[in-house]
Amino acid sequence: MDLTKLPKQFCENIAVALSKEYFVMSMLTGETGVTYALTPQHMKRLSQYIAYQIAEYEKQFGTITAEWTPNIQSPLQTKDIMDGGKDSNK
């Protein structure tokens, strides 16, 4: 497979939900997204792979400055999408 020929999109957001049996990860671009279901083992390997790639990047280009805070609520909520952005309280 030639990775240079695959279509590419800028991922604006990633959302993850979980249960005991699997993780569900959505990668969002504008108004579209792709959702994947992963076993816990696959999700763990994915996190290890991403950590490895970040470490390699930082060796080559320097430290990435970023802060992650859990439970930050997105300004765009599913209920907003479902009702077309209308305020359902009115």
- On the question of pLDDT at 59 being above 70, the answer is yes
- The SS3 of residue 61 is helix
- On the question of pLDDT at 48 being above 80, the answer is yes
Q: What is the pLDDT of residue 75?
A: 58
Contact 64, 57 (CB under 8 A): yes
Work out the average pLDDT over 56-73.
Answer: 87
Work out the average pLDDT over 29-54.
Answer: 94
Q: At 64, which helix (H) or strand (E)?
A: none
Contacts of 74 (CB under 8 A, 6+ apart): 13
Lowest model confidence (mean pLDDT) among 31-40, 46-55, 62-71, 81-90: 81-90
Q: What is the pLDDT of residue 80?
A: 54
Q: What is the pLDDT of residue 24?
A: 94
